[in-house]
Amino acid sequence: MSYKPEVDLNHNVVSPHHRYGCYDKPQSRETAIEVQHGWTTGGRRATHMHQTRWLDIGCGHSYRETDPSCRGCKWRDA
């Protein structure tokens, strides 16, 4: 499959020099996320922070081999 980077998911034109936010950044092993933890007495969601551990993968982008925005990224062949 090939990837056409003319527009992003919001239908904005992508420049030929576009890079994703993951480009060459160190991988994060843990992330804090806010999750629902029951309900309050007033009927609203009760939440708390939860540490989550991510799988050890280099890159999850399905088209990284053909996407020009991934060219030169250290995660491209990981």
DSSP bridge pairs for 32 = 51
Rounded Cα–Cα distance for residues 73 and 70 (Å):
5
Closest CA to 64 of 78, 54, 45: 78
**pLDDT per position as a tens digit, 7-23:** 666 656 666 677 777 76
71 conformational bin, left if phi > 0, alpha if psi -120 to 50, beta if neither: beta
- Model pLDDT for residues 14-73, shown as the tens digit of each residue: 666 777 777 677 766 788 889 999 999 999 999 999 998 877 677 777 878 887 778 888
